[in-house]
Amino acid sequence: MNRSNTKIYRNKKKWKDFPKWPQYGQRESRALLRALNSGVWGIGGKETEKFEKTFAEYQHCKYCVTMANGSVTLRNALLACNIEAGSEVIVPPYTFLATATSVIEANCIPVFVDIDPDTYCIDYRKIEKAVTPRTKAIIPVHLGGHAAAMDKIMEIAGKYNLYVIEDCAHAHGAEYKGKRVGSIGDIGSFSFQSSKNLCCGEGGAIVSNNKELTEKCWSIHNCGRIRDGAWYQHENLGSNYRLSQFQAAILNEQIKKIDRQIDKRQKNAAYLDEKLSQIPGIRPLIRKKEATRHTYHLYLFRYDTEIFSGIPRDIFTKSLRNKGIPVFEGYNTLIYKQPFMQGKRFATFNEWKHTNPNLNYSNTFCPVAENSAETEGCWLPQNILLGDKKNMDDIADAISRVHDNKKRLRSKIRH
């Protein structure tokens, strides 16, 4: 969301009666008191230990390490893979910027590959063309809770000996061909930020079936310590990225609700797909059959300006918000178009320039992603899909009314 949309998102009073987020109650209150009264609020507490075990099993993995947020989990994953500075990492441009900035923080170079127009996940058919001798990893994003084409991605990774770090920030509990995301690549990265389907305000985790990589992530997130080492024994370069016991306590209660919530989102999304598909100029994103469990952190649909008499997307979404429907444009600026990515001088956080003197994203062009970001993509947040059938009908009816009155709305724009 842009800044103006953030203000609108927070101003919920005029919206229809959609479910609020986060959802919590006495269980979370008791959990916080449990953590408080334990007297161990940080390292060594039982809440993180319990959640790591529960979440690893939930994602079909052997190991889990909780961290401060989903951005540092991506960076830690890259560092754990011991990817040398100046290496290239393939990422999609239609995602939150942390997918790419984590690569920069790890002193590597993000290489952008366009997205699939049906799912907005990275287009596996375009990945191989982007691979060079400098490529060391791929970060597929399971956008909105729809799993990326992991079998094809893993095939390419195997061919070129690349690490695969799954960005699962939107996809707690999502599945690809029956396998939970995060368990398919080398490492899965999750976020528990306040908007996420599983949340505790701020937080993150990595999951893996690779013990060696997990131990490296654990060391990096805990000041470079090793599990059996002394307190002031720092075997590796790391920092404090640990999760607090209060956050873990909330997660231990929130995860008990997630399956029921996923089931409801999937049911409402299927109904909404059917309703919106009947409106000219509105096309819900396709759910591929391989995405055997879609968690719908976002409900995404495509808006056709031409069929709506040339009404720009921002006017369309504003009209819906005025009718009480919280629809947004989402990532309306791609990562490679952000100011810090433009021009010949490409700086990292410490103003260090990569060894590639020709690094310049001003000429990068991913046409599908650009169309999605600038004119087509529309979002509904995940909590909307926790509503009832009437809520879904309200959404479809509001969009239908905008379509039916498109010429009148267009005439107002002209004047």
Report yes or no: 138 and 89 within 8 Å, Cβ to Cβ. Answer: yes
| 121-163 residue pLDDT tens | 999 999 999 999 999 999 999 999 999 999 999 999 999 999 9
Compute CA distances 25 → 12, 17, 66, 200, 356, whole Å: 21, 19, 23, 13, 53
Q: Is residue 20 part of a domain?
A: no
- Same domain? 94 vs 198: yes
Q: Is residue 277 part of a domain?
A: yes
Report yes or no: 262 and 295 within 8 Å, Cβ to Cβ. Answer: yes
Please write down the long-range contacts of 262-265, taking CB distance under 8 Å and 24 or more positions apart: 262/173, 262/197, 262/293, 262/295, 262/296, 264/385, 264/386, 265/295, 265/296, 265/382, 265/385, 265/386
Q: Is residue 406 part of a domain?
A: yes
State both tokens at 25. 């109650």
- Same domain? 66 vs 199: yes
Q: Is residue 19 part of a domain?
A: no
Domain boundaries, position 293: 3-11+258-414
Q: Is residue 17 part of a domain?
A: no
- Same domain? 246 vs 269: no
| 168-208 residue pLDDT tens | 999 999 999 999 999 999 999 999 999 999 999 999 999 99
**Model confidence at 51: pLDDT above 50:** yes
- CA angle (330, 333, 334) in 5-degree steps: 105
- Whole-prediction pTM: 0.94
- Same domain? 361 vs 227: no
Q: Which of residues 209, 238, 254 is at a domain's end?
A: 254
**Model confidence at 353: pLDDT above 90:** no
- Same domain? 327 vs 242: no
